[in-house]
Each structure stands twice: as structure tokens, then as C-alpha cells.
Structure 1
Amino acid sequence: MTSMASRTSRTSRTSMTELRGTVETFWATAQARDWDAFAETLAEDVVYELPQTRERIHGRERYVQFNREYPGDWQARVVRIVAEPGQVVSWMHVTVGLEEMHAISFFTGDEQGRIAAVTDFWPEPYEPPTGREHLVERY
């Protein structure tokens, strides 16, 4: 007989693996502009948030349309994905034309292994304040 803790652990690992795979598919289909396959990674009631611009999108159809209509010739490459049960974080390297940037995306999954929520952070590069040169190494 399998213990409850063992079953829960197995379910958590499966959920983590499933959601990680879903996020990998999310990025691959976005990069390929395969919007039908991209939509399949999302829960019907997905919520997308951009804290820097204070924007929120509710629903799969609107979120797919947002990505479909995003301006410019952008490319996205996964740098790193970290997964735990029900949550995944991705670090992305994105180019839009000649501009390069990094983004951090937080994903939450639903019971079907689809993406229920995405929060994107698009940090802007800036020059550090003076006075700490003796402590840091610039790269």
C-alpha cells in the first residue's frame, strides 16, 4: 500500500515536471509564432500581469492576441528555467530589433498542467551608483 505522503510527493513531482514542460512549450511556440499551440499551454482563464506598466490581461484569447500583435521582430531564448510544484520561473534573453534585454517570468499552473497565471518582469539596464567600485566586478 502506498502512503499518502508518497502519493503526494509523486503528484507534486509530476505536476512540477508537467508545468515545466508546459512552460518550455509556451516559449518554443511563442518563438515559432505558433499561436494555436501557444494557446494550448494556457488555461482558459489565464491572467497575465506586467507590474512595470501596471497592465493585466484576463483570458486566453486576449493574451494570445496580445502576443500575436506584439510589435517588432522579437526573438526569445530561454536562459534558465527553475521549477517547483505548481510554479515555474524562467529567465529569458529577448531581442527586439537591435535591443537586447532579459526578462524574468513567473508561472503558476492549474490542475491540468496548463498555465493559469504569468507575471513578467522586464528589468531595464542602468548604470550603478558610484562608490562601490571597490566591492564589485563589472561584466
Structure 2
Amino acid sequence: MADVEDTVMVYWHACEARDWERMGTLLADDMVYHLPQTRERIRGREAFLQFNREYPGGWHLSVTRVTGAGARAASWITVDIDGEEQPAVSFFDLDEAGRISVITEFWPEPYEPPAGREHLVERYAVAEVQPA
């Protein structure tokens, strides 16, 4: 298994570079992406890659910190979206092959998701328990 911190750093570098092919090699086929603030979940590598390809606006990110051990890591990033900086904290779980299987990402405040990604996400209730 690759070092979890290295995997997360490569993931963020691929994201910033819009290198979706490289990012795809880091993801498990059945990966799940959780956005608790908007109560959205994306299932599957292809849907997650498409979500990122279609994300609107001019954005860039910088990594502040990545820490992890075993098959789990957390990262703190700052994203500049059209001139407005927003911090985010992401938690990563890797599968036995060292691929990212779960990402749970927290943004500063709850918000309603932007229109146009309904075909890629499912909404869930606030009280729904997230998998470990």
C-alpha cells in the first residue's frame, strides 16, 4: 500500500492541475464522496471525476497540511474560488489496494448546492449517519 499522505498529496496536485486521468488512477471504482454541508453523496469514480470536470468557476487550491496513518488521512486545504478564499477539511479512507475509497469533505458553513449537478449526486437527510 502506498503511503496515505503521499496518495492524498498526489490527489490534490492532480486536482489543482485538472489532471483527471491521474486523479482517476488514485480512486477505487466504487469510491464514495460525502459533502455533509449540502447533504450530497457521489458514488463511483466516474461520477466523481465528472463532478470535478463540471465544477464551475475559476478555482485553485493550496494544501496547508496532510496527516495520516495506515489507511486514513486528513487534509486542510484553502481553495480560491473566483477571488474568495475558503478553507476545507477532507478525510480520506484508502482500500487494501491503496486507492481512495471514501472522501468526506467539510466546508466552512452549510449551504445549498449549486444547480446543475443533480444528475451526479443524491441528497440525504441531515440526521443520516455516515459510514465509518
Q: Structure 1 stretches of 5 or more lacking a match?
A: 1-14, 125-139
Which residue of the other structure, out of 69, 73, 76, is the alignment partner of 1:88?
73
Q: For each residue in 1:19-67, what CA deviation from the matched residue of structure 2 results, as whole angstroms up to 9, or x when unmatched?
A: 2111111100010001100111100000000000000000000000001
TM-score by length of 1: 0.76
Given that residues 19 and 114 in structure 1 are in contact (C-alpha distance below 8 angstroms), is that contact kept between their aligned partners in structure 2?
Answer: no
Counterpart of 2:129? none
Report the RMSD for the aligned CA atoms in angstroms.
0.9
Distance 1:78 1:102 in 2: 10
Which residue of the other structure, out of 41, 46, 55, is the alignment partner of 1:70?
55
Counterpart of 2:28? 43
Counterpart of 1:29? 14
Task: For 1:1-139, list aligned pairs within 5 A.
Answer: 15=1, 18-124=3-109
Distance 2:94 2:29 in 1: 12
Q: For each residue in 1:41-95, what CA deviation from the matched residue of structure 2 results, as whole angstroms up to 9, or x when unmatched?
A: 1000000000000000000000000011100011011000011111000000110
Once superposed, which parts of structure 1, at least 4 consecutive aligned residues long, lie more than 2 Å away? none
Q: Which has the higher contact order (CA 8 A, sep 6+)?
A: 2
Aligned length: 109
Task: Report which of the two structures shows the higher radius of gyration computed on alpha carbons.
Answer: 1
Q: Percent identity?
A: 49
